[in-house]
Amino acid sequence: VIGRGQARANANIALIKYWGKADEDLIIPMTSSLSLTLDGLSTRTEVEFLDATAGSDLLTIDDQPQGGRALGRISQFLDVIRKRADIDAPARVSSYNTVPYGAGLASSSSAFAALAGAACAAAGLNVSRQDLSRLARRGSGSACRSIYGGLVQWQAGHDDASSYAEPVETDMDLALIVVLISGQEKHISSRQAMRHTMSTSPFYRAWVEQSKDDLEQALVAVHTNDINTLGEIVEANALSMHAAMMAARPAVSYWLPDTLVAFEAVHQIRSDGLDAWATMDAGPNIKVLTSGQQAIQVAEELRERLPGVNIQVHRPGPGLQVNGAG
Ligand code: DP6
């Protein structure tokens, strides 16, 4: 072993979504986005660069050896790090998740943020937080936001140097409640689905335009501590993204009947006067934005209306933590 590094990152959920790339290779998004990094949904990754001139990368996720596409994507990412560190060594990557894999719970966000941190440490690279965000972005767009804790904005930028995430200062007391409708792997990856939406949905352009306004207004709501306005925009932004997907040809739909039932429950709880707005990503689960103060009560109300569904409160979590050096 010529270098070893370890890192832990938490998943983030977008409040204003990223959906579509201006540059597929560098992962430059069409729009800027806003997210909340959560506690309790994390990936811990160890990377070791091996003392060998030949040989291939090895990957385990939760102690299960991986090959095929998962390994290919990791190797491709490690190539970016190897090139930067000017090394040739194969790597052994071991990753442990507290996030169900591929269920629209943003496992790729924590995974590539942790991998970026661990791989840079193992390669002995001296990198800034901004560098780490830009590197994590190369693995999975949303991962660039998991470098930071709490509320985070990803500036779309226009090239590798200008596209990275930054923390958003706020006193807002937010929480997200994950309503786990299905832990099954998604039928179409977000990567494929966003490409298909961009190239076939007549509503995609409109979504891009709207999302610029949404982000602007969401940031004003954050700065004025106005959770009602923020919640309304967050829910509308997610539904607009899914509307653009539905209009793709053929349609992309992550909805299950129970997803709609959960949305209805959120609307009822809101009309009873509680803080509750739903958002949804590339999977059938929903996440409910609420205030930290009302989170327990909203979760209880949801459990009453959605019996048998796994419902967990997540508070804002920390950014990337890196240990050990090369
Ligand atoms: C719906 O970051 O998984 O969660 O960049 O292709 O790896 P790639 O996509 P990914 O897409 C996330 C899409 C989303 C919205 C969001 O997190 O902003």
Q: Relative to the CA of 109, which ligand 1 atom is closest? A: 2
Give the pLDDT confidence score for residue 106 in this predicted structure.
62
Q: Which residue has the higher pLDDT, 99 or 91?
A: 91
Is the pLDDT at 90 greater than 90? The verdict is yes
Residues facing residue 154 across a β-bridge:
33, 165
* Complex confidence, ipTM: 0.99
CA of 271 to the centre of ligand 1 (A): 31
User: With bands split at pLDDT 50, 70 and 90, how would you rate the model's confidence at 53?
Assistant: confident
Distance separating alpha carbons of residues 295 and 289, to the nearest angstrom: 9
Q: Relative to the CA of 18, which ligand 1 atom is closest? A: 18
User: With bands split at pLDDT 50, 70 and 90, how would you rate the model's confidence at 101?
Assistant: low
Which residues approach ligand 1 with their CB closer than 6 A?
Answer: 14, 17-19, 27, 33, 106, 108, 140-142, 190-191, 281-282
81, two tokens = 């790090």
Q: Relative to the CA of 29, which ligand 1 atom is closest? A: 5
Give the pLDDT confidence score for residue 326 in this predicted structure.
41
62, two tokens = 């939760």
Kindly report the average pLDDT of the chain as a whole number.
95
Q: Global pTM?
A: 0.96
Q: Mean pLDDT throughout 90-101?
A: 87
Q: Relative to the CA of 27, which ligand 1 atom is closest? A: 5
User: With bands split at pLDDT 50, 70 and 90, how would you rate the model's confidence at 1?
Assistant: confident
Measuring from atom 14 of ligand 1, which residue has the nearest CA? Answer: 281
CA of 304 to the centre of ligand 1 (A): 31
**Ligand 1 pocket test target in 142, 152, 255 with most atoms within 8 Å of CB:** 142
User: With bands split at pLDDT 50, 70 and 90, how would you rate the model's confidence at 103?
Assistant: low
Measuring from atom 12 of ligand 1, which residue has the nearest CA? Answer: 142
pLDDT in tens, 231-247: 999 999 999 999 999 99
Q: What are phi and psi of 15, to 5 degrees?
A: -95, -35
Highest mean predicted confidence (pLDDT) among 106-110, 181-185, 230-234, 280-284? 230-234
CA of 38 to the centre of ligand 1 (A): 16
Is the pLDDT at 172 greater than 60? The verdict is yes
CA of 19 to the centre of ligand 1 (A): 7
CA of 14 to the centre of ligand 1 (A): 9
Measuring from atom 6 of ligand 1, which residue has the nearest CA? Answer: 191
Is the pLDDT at 100 greater than 70? The verdict is no
Q: Please choose, from the candidates 230, 43, 59, the residue with its C-alpha nearest in 3D space to the C-alpha of residue 146.
A: 43
CA of 143 to the centre of ligand 1 (A): 8
Percent of the chain surpassing pLDDT 70:
96
To the nearest 10°, report the CA torsion of 102, 105, 107, 112: 120
Measuring from atom 1 of ligand 1, which residue has the nearest CA? Answer: 281
CA of 189 to the centre of ligand 1 (A): 9
CA of 15 to the centre of ligand 1 (A): 12
pLDDT in tens, 305-324: 999 999 999 999 999 999 86
Q: Relative to the CA of 35, which ligand 1 atom is closest? A: 18
Q: Relative to the CA of 241, which ligand 1 atom is closest? A: 1
CA of 54 to the centre of ligand 1 (A): 33
Q: What is the 3-state secondary structure (H, E, C) of 133-158?
A: HHHHHHHCHHHHHHHCCCEEEEECCC
Distance separating alpha carbons of residues 299 and 305, to the nearest angstrom: 10
Q: Mean pLDDT throughout 180-194?
A: 87
Is the pLDDT at 52 greater than 60? The verdict is yes
Q: Mean pLDDT throughout 8-37?
A: 98
Alpha helices (runs of H) in 140-256, residue ranges in sequence order: 190-200, 204-223, 227-246
Q: Mean pLDDT throughout 144-158?
A: 98
CA of 35 to the centre of ligand 1 (A): 11
